[in-house]
Structure 1
């Protein structure tokens, strides 16, 4: 069952007659799945790409290897490129890209601990880059990140 924030976000998008698409690394398709369970899914959900592995980021979503090498796969720079490319593929009103570290074994550092999530949201009028650190198990981090993305979309769309 989708969270209250995901449900609210879907209702707001449906009221505006806007659609949404996702590029999901850390959430690995869970965000698309959560939005697909809302009553408005048929009106708003364009689709998504799970780009968990670097190969998909580079070969499908055209993120240059040099950017991944310089900034790591879990970074604001890579997340922005994912959003830009996904927006083109899906021709969506709202595009959400998300990367990050839900568990150990990625590019975590002292400055970028496990729980660090990067968001890039493209709307018809602006681009939002956001970073937040969450605590908990991998699943809790992913669910908190999905709610944060929904909140960011709600805040942005409400101001338009």
Structure 2
């Protein structure tokens, strides 16, 4: 069952005739699944791509290998590429891209601990970038990140 913030985001997107698409790494399709269960999903949800593995980031979404090498797959820079490429691919009004670390591993470091999430949103008006460290289990981190993404979209359209 989608949270109230996700349901509200879908409702407001519909009321303003906008659609939305997703490029999901850390959330692995969970954001798309949450939006697909809203009352207005057929009117607003365009689609998405799960780009968990570097192969998908590079080969499908054309993120340059040197960008991933320089900044890591879980970074603001890679997330921006994912958002821009997915927005073009889906011709979406709003495109949310999300990367990060919900569990140990990946590019985890003192500067980038588990819970670090990068969100980039392409909108009809501008590009929004957000980074935040969430706490909890991997599932809690993912769900908090999804709600934060919906909150950021709402802040733009409200």
TM range (shorter): over 0.9
Deviation at 1:105, TM superposition (A): 1.1
Q: CA RMSD in A?
A: 0.3
Deviation at 1:157, TM superposition (A): 1.2
- Alignment correspondent of 2:128: 128
Deviation at 1:81, TM superposition (A): 0.1
- Alignment correspondent of 1:152: 152
What SS does the corresponding residue of 1:52 show, helix, strand or coil? coil
Instruction: Find the aligned partners of 1:46 and 1:10 in 2 and give their Cα distance.
Output: 12
Deviation at 1:121, TM superposition (A): 0.3
Instruction: Find the aligned partners of 2:49 and 2:33 in 1 and give their Cα distance.
Output: 12
1:26-65 matches, within 5 Å, as 26-65=26-65
Deviation at 1:69, TM superposition (A): 0.1
Deviation at 1:115, TM superposition (A): 0.1
Instruction: Find the aligned partners of 2:112 and 2:103 in 1 and give their Cα distance.
Output: 12
The question of 1:11 aligning with 2:11 is answered: yes
Question: Is there any run of 5+ residues in structure 2 with no aligned partner, and where?
Answer: none
Deviation at 1:49, TM superposition (A): 0.2
What SS does the corresponding residue of 1:70 show, helix, strand or coil? helix
- Alignment correspondent of 1:84: 84
Q: TM-score with structure 1 length normalisation?
A: 0.98
Deviation at 1:149, TM superposition (A): 0.1
Instruction: Give the total of aligned pairs.
Output: 158
- Alignment correspondent of 1:2: 2
Q: TM-score with structure 2 length normalisation?
A: 1.00
CA displacement 1:100-128 (0-9 Å, x = unmatched): 00000110110110000000001001100
What SS does the corresponding residue of 1:104 show, helix, strand or coil? coil
CA displacement 1:19-72 (0-9 Å, x = unmatched): 000000000000000000000000000000000000000000000000000000
